[in-house]
Amino acid sequence: MKNLLLSLVCCIALTVQAQNTSSAFHFGYLSYDSALTAMPEYAAVQQSLADLRHKYETEMKRAEKEFNTKYEEFLEGRADFPPSILRKRQTELQELMDRNVAFRDQARQELKKAETEALVPLRTRLDAVIAEVAASYHLAFVLNTDQNACPYVSPAMGINVTETVIGRLKMGTLNLIDHNR
């Protein structure tokens, strides 16, 4: 009987402790992409990347036009070229095509690198704001709900901090968080 009573008291104590512990571990959730794209600086970064992309596209079109012109000249004169000139022109066309393909690949890599580098300061600022919002709400962690990473989040167990974070990013200041839930 004593063991049964002792077990019951232990179960009740563990249940109370679990309830106290669970109430201390709230979590937040947000759409990181929505917060990132809502930043005032995001539009400027996207415009800068669009300008860079346009410059690369312009250069690729110029190189393509140059190749097409040389190819047309090759086609027009190939019947009259001696074999050595024909091979030389074919080699020139192949080298030009290879350079254009290499440039296109390099342009893609450089655009990706430029995008990554341009977003670093925005992501750093966003992460800092998320951390401050989480600290102000005493959250144990904040989940990113983008790309169905978290298909279900119980609103009773967590708090959606997306709008709070976006509001803070637009205000541009830290330490001004609405503590109303």
| pLDDT band with cut points at 50, 70 and 90 for residue 171 | confident
Q: What is the pLDDT of residues 86-122, one digit of tens each?
A: 999 999 999 999 999 999 999 999 999 999 999 999 9
Interior/surface letters 60-94, b for 16+ CB within 10 angstroms, e for the rest: eeebeeeeeeeeeeeeeeeeeeeeeeeeebeeeee
What domains can be seen in the chain, in order of their start residue? 23-171 (3.30.910.20)
| In the predicted structure, residue 12 carries a pLDDT above the cut 80 | no
* Residue among 138, 105, 174 nearest 23 (CA): 138
C-alpha to C-alpha distance for 67 and 70, rounded to whole angstroms: 5
Higher local confidence (pLDDT), 57 or 148? 57
* Average pLDDT score over residue span 1-30: 50
* Average pLDDT score over residue span 130-143: 94
* The residue to which tokens 């250069």 are assigned: 59
Beta bridge partners, 26, equal 139
| In the predicted structure, residue 16 carries a pLDDT above the cut 60 | no
Kindly report whether the global pTM for this prediction surpasses the value 0.85. Answer: no
Q: What is the pLDDT of residues 28-38, one digit of tens each?
A: 999 999 999 99
Cα pseudo-dihedral 77, 79, 83, 86, rounded to 10: 30
CB 125 within 8 A of CB 169: yes
* Residue among 108, 110, 78 nearest 92 (CA): 78
Residues 6 or more apart whose CB falls under 8 angstroms from that of 99 comprise 63
| Tokens found for residue 14 | 């563990």
